[in-house]
Amino acid sequence: MVEKSKKERLIQASIKLFAQQGYHNTTVAEIADEAGVAKGTVYWYFNSKEELFWGIIVSRIESINEKITEEVSKINKTAIEKIGTVIRLQLNLFKDNKNIVKMIHESSFSPGENFYKKMQQLRAIGINSVAKIVKEGQENGEFVVDIEAEELANFILGSISGSYNPSVYKLDKVEEKTDLILNIILNGVKA
Amino acid sequence: MVEKSKKERLIQASIKLFAQQGYHNTTVAEIADEAGVAKGTVYWYFNSKEELFWGIIVSRIESINEKITEEVSKINKTAIEKIGTVIRLQLNLFKDNKNIVKMIHESSFSPGENFYKKMQQLRAIGINSVAKIVKEGQENGEFVVDIEAEELANFILGSISGSYNPSVYKLDKVEEKTDLILNIILNGVKA
Amino acid sequence: MVEKSKKERLIQASIKLFAQQGYHNTTVAEIADEAGVAKGTVYWYFNSKEELFWGIIVSRIESINEKITEEVSKINKTAIEKIGTVIRLQLNLFKDNKNIVKMIHESSFSPGENFYKKMQQLRAIGINSVAKIVKEGQENGEFVVDIEAEELANFILGSISGSYNPSVYKLDKVEEKTDLILNIILNGVKA
Amino acid sequence: MVEKSKKERLIQASIKLFAQQGYHNTTVAEIADEAGVAKGTVYWYFNSKEELFWGIIVSRIESINEKITEEVSKINKTAIEKIGTVIRLQLNLFKDNKNIVKMIHESSFSPGENFYKKMQQLRAIGINSVAKIVKEGQENGEFVVDIEAEELANFILGSISGSYNPSVYKLDKVEEKTDLILNIILNGVKA
DNA sequence: AATGAATGAGTATTCATTCAT
DNA sequence: CATGAATGAATACTCATTCAT
């Protein structure tokens, strides 16, 4: 079929609108409208507006976490190369899902306890994977050893998303940006 | 009188509640209640709920921006020292204003285009100040020159806030953390 | 087949759910579910939720009215005996159809004028039949004559259902209760 | 003031509409409209539509229960006289509050567990009071003693409300009706 | 300055009903 | 006969804001 399923259309419409206008400023009616379905149809596929929002967020983060985890287990790559891949994965996520990044941004403030915990878990999973890479690098002499692996992982992941700033970074040059960030993280800024 | 002014009490109540519950889940009635005033009184001191929210956010960010700007102009310090101060300032802001940090997090997206732009401006001011420090450091040979000052500034500021993760960082040891971050930024993680 | 027809299953499910939860708190989806059929199927057998509800109510009341009418025409019984039978019929209806009694209770008011009138009519038919018995009794000297037959009939029918109180009456002893009520109605409570 | 309070107006409007159309067929908007206030005002005075409905029901039943209880304790009246008063009180309640009677009718089917229990309690209180009168009458030889006082009380109260039928009883002649019912209850219908 | 009663626009959610298959 | 995806009208309730006192 060329025609997308109504559920898929609802998800796309949600991503677009939530990102553009924020969760609270987007109505279920608007989403249905944008997706070209009736309001009631939203509730045929999703139990609530919250579930719709968080379902999207969680699925995307899980997807990138999976990719990172995958990267960790590769044996024919150095730790440095793996960190490079992590950066590239994140930047590509940002590039391909500008709207979702915005949604994740917003989600950092929790509408509900349940989802907040879920988000914490997801972040922990990501950090954990990167920490494994770091440990590997520390063990084989690629990385400095005077900093705890987990703290380093936290810094790395944080600096990628923290430094992601649409008004500064033009994300059409992912490779370039990856090199830049990796360069700073590896060598620092001192002359 | 030791009794705080009603306006001050309203601001404190707002910070507490907005941070705990988020903007949309906090009602004006709750704020008035927490502050011990009548609902109508809120509107004597503030024109709207939004103004109350943003007034707080903006004032705090402006305050730290001022401090950074101040730091820039000091002449008896190296650029590296200045960057260290910037990190220390940020971490202290986080430490002293956990609630406000949460608010800023939320505000990175929330209610309406106007304020989003305002936030972008504020961020730009901060980056601008740090970029001046960086340029200074590049000119006097402290920092690498193959990276644009603004991009570097963006990375520095971003990595501080991005790596700020309450569940990992215990912010009671600001000096220690400052050294850690500064160390990574300056020297990188490569062995 | 031992398997009941879908229509029958729908009726049974409706009685159960309407009685347990009331008309407005029972959804067509629930009924279909309870009956083990698809939602759409309900509409093959019944034109609407209302029709389903009222169809049940009306059929039961009509059935008891028929029995009462039947009773009236018997010629080998005294009026007193006939009244006794009416009481017994009612109590047995209550006993066997607790759920339906609840439904009738609710229906004494519920959805829309049309059905309210229908209920009035049904009640009128019942009263009319009993009134015939009363008249008979008045004519042959069994009952007092200073009270209009219809008013008496109304009292009799009303006192049966009005005094029906599940928390007081244990309806397992229908004969006993019949005697009790008949006794009071006939002889009164004065010593 | 000639102008009734908004709360009072809301109560009156609710009684009217709930009785005319039933609980589920009456919208909060209609009530507000009928009372001449804004929709939001309903929620200033009442927490919910349910509370509004049940608040009315309960308060009226409590009021008549109080009157009955009062009657019980009078010492210069015979039990028969007291029963007469109970009948008169009920009929007057019906007369003055035709709408409320309808509401009580409807309430016999519970929207919520809490209120259902409350209703049971209220009925129990009424029966209890009447049972006291009956006992009194049994002790001083006014009433037959072969029937349990509580069962008799249940019958009496039940027969009054059960036999209340707007299409038969014209409630403008309360005294007459009171005598009629009292007469039947006391002496029965046997010639 | 301060109050709090009153407002009414705004919205998520439900559910009887339809109809293409 | 039977299904269940899809519809959209209907509605209780919230809450920022106003204003007479």
User: For every residue of chain C, which 3-state class applies, written as one string?
Assistant: CCCCCHHHHHHHHHHHHHHHHCCCCCCHHHHHHHHCCCHHHHHHHCCCHHHHHHHHHHHHHHHHHHHHHHHHHCCCCCHHHHHHHHHHHHHHHHHHCHHHHHHHHHHCCCCCHHHHHHHHHHHHHHHHHHHHHHHHHHHCCCECCCCCHHHHHHHHHHHHHHHCCCCCCCCCCHHHHHHHHHHHHHHCCEC
| Chain A residue with minimum CA distance to B157 | A163
pLDDT higher than 50, residue A110: no
Mean pLDDT of C134-148: 93
Count of A-B CB contacts under 8 Å = 142
* C152–D189 C-beta distance less than 8 A: yes
* Backbone torsion region of residue C91, taken as left when φ is above 0, otherwise alpha when ψ lies between -120 and 50, otherwise beta: alpha
Whole-number distance in Å between A99 CA and E5 C1': 43
How many whole angstroms separate alpha carbon C163 and alpha carbon D157? 7
Please report the DSSP string for D42-68 in residue order: HHHH-S-HHHHHHHHHHHHHHHHHHHH
Whole-number distance in Å between A165 CA and E12 C1': 34
- Who has greater pLDDT, B61 or C86? C86
What is the pLDDT at residue C81? 93
Touch between D and A (at least 3 CB pairs under 8 Å): no
- Who has greater pLDDT, B169 or C75? C75
Q: Where are the alpha helices (DSSP H) in B38-173?
A: 39-45, 49-73, 79-96, 98-107, 113-139, 149-163
Residues of B in contact with A108 (CB under 8 A): 105-106
How many whole angstroms separate alpha carbon D55 and alpha carbon D133? 29
What is the pLDDT at residue D110? 46
| Chain A residue with minimum CA distance to B128 | A168
What is the pLDDT at residue D1? 47
What is the pLDDT at residue D94? 79
Nearest of B157, B44, B180 to residue B104 by alpha carbon? B157
User: Residue A162, class by beta-carbon neighbours within 10 Å (0-12 exposed, 13-18 middle, 19+ buried)?
Assistant: buried
* D164–C159 C-beta distance less than 8 A: no
Mean pLDDT of B105-126: 67
* B127–A109 C-beta distance less than 8 A: no
Facing residues of D143 across strands? C190
Indicate yes or no: strand E within 7 A of the C-beta of D6.
yes
How many whole angstroms separate alpha carbon A139 and alpha carbon C59? 84
What is the pLDDT at residue A29? 97
- Who has greater pLDDT, A97 or D108? A97
The partner residue sitting opposite B109, judged by closest CB among A105, A111, A190, is A105
Whole-number distance in Å between A27 CA and E9 C1': 15
Mean pLDDT of C13-37: 90
User: Domains (ranges, CATH) in chain C?
Assistant: 1-46 (1.10.10.60), 48-187 (1.10.357.10)
Amino acid at A144: V
* Backbone torsion region of residue A22, taken as left when φ is above 0, otherwise alpha when ψ lies between -120 and 50, otherwise beta: left
Give the tens place of pLDDT for each residue, C142-160.
Answer: 999 999 999 899 889 888 8
How many whole angstroms separate alpha carbon B48 and alpha carbon B131? 36
Q: DSSP code of A190?
A: B
Min CA distance, A183 vs chain B (Å)? 8
Nearest of B127, B178, B156, B169 to residue A188 by alpha carbon? B156
The partner residue sitting opposite B161, judged by closest CB among A24, A110, A162, is A162
Strand E bases near protein CB (under 7 Å) are 1-20
Give the tens place of pLDDT for each residue, C82-125.
Answer: 999 999 988 888 777 766 666 665 555 544 555 667 777 888 88
- Who has greater pLDDT, A123 or C32? C32
Facing residues of A190 across strands? B143
| Chain C residue with minimum CA distance to D120 | C167
Q: DSSP code of D156?
A: H
Please report the DSSP string for A91-145 in residue order: HHHHHHTHHHHHHHHHHTS-SSHHHHHHHHHHHHHHHHHHHHHHHHHHHTTSB-S
Please state which of the ranges A87-91, B57-61, B85-89, B185-189 shows the lowest mean pLDDT: B57-61
Cα angle A121, A124, A127 (rounded to 5 degrees) comes to 155
CA-based torsion, A121, A127, A130, A136: positive or negative: negative
Inter-residue contact B79 to B134 (CB < 8 Å): yes
How many whole angstroms separate alpha carbon D140 and alpha carbon D163? 29
Q: Which two tokens stand for residue A136?
A: 């590997």
Residues 90-109 of C with CB under 7 A from strand E: none
Q: What is the pLDDT along chain D (191 residues), one digit of tens a residue?
A: 456 799 999 999 999 998 888 788 899 999 999 999 999 999 999 999 999 988 888 888 888 889 888 888 888 899 999 999 999 988 888 777 766 766 766 655 444 555 667 777 888 888 999 999 999 999 999 999 999 999 899 889 888 887 776 555 556 678 888 998 999 999 988 87
Please state the separation of Cα B2 from the chain's center in Å.
Answer: 29
Split at pLDDT 50, 70, 90, the class of A43 is: very high
Q: What is the mean pLDDT of chain C?
A: 84
pLDDT more than 70, % of chain C: 84
How many whole angstroms separate alpha carbon A135 and alpha carbon B40? 58
Inter-residue contact A19 to A102 (CB < 8 Å): yes
Give the tens place of pLDDT for each residue, A163-185.
Answer: 776 555 556 678 888 999 999 99
Other chains touching A, judged by 3 or more CB pairs under 8 Å:
B
Mean pLDDT of A24-51: 95
* C145–D158 C-beta distance less than 8 A: no
* D190–C189 C-beta distance less than 8 A: no
How many whole angstroms separate alpha carbon B36 and alpha carbon D66? 41
* C181–D185 C-beta distance less than 8 A: no
What is the pLDDT at residue D186? 94
Dihedral Cα A112, A114, A117, A123, nearest 10 deg: -80
Q: What is the mean pLDDT of chain B?
A: 84
Split at pLDDT 50, 70, 90, the class of A161 is: confident
Q: DSSP code of D23?
A: S
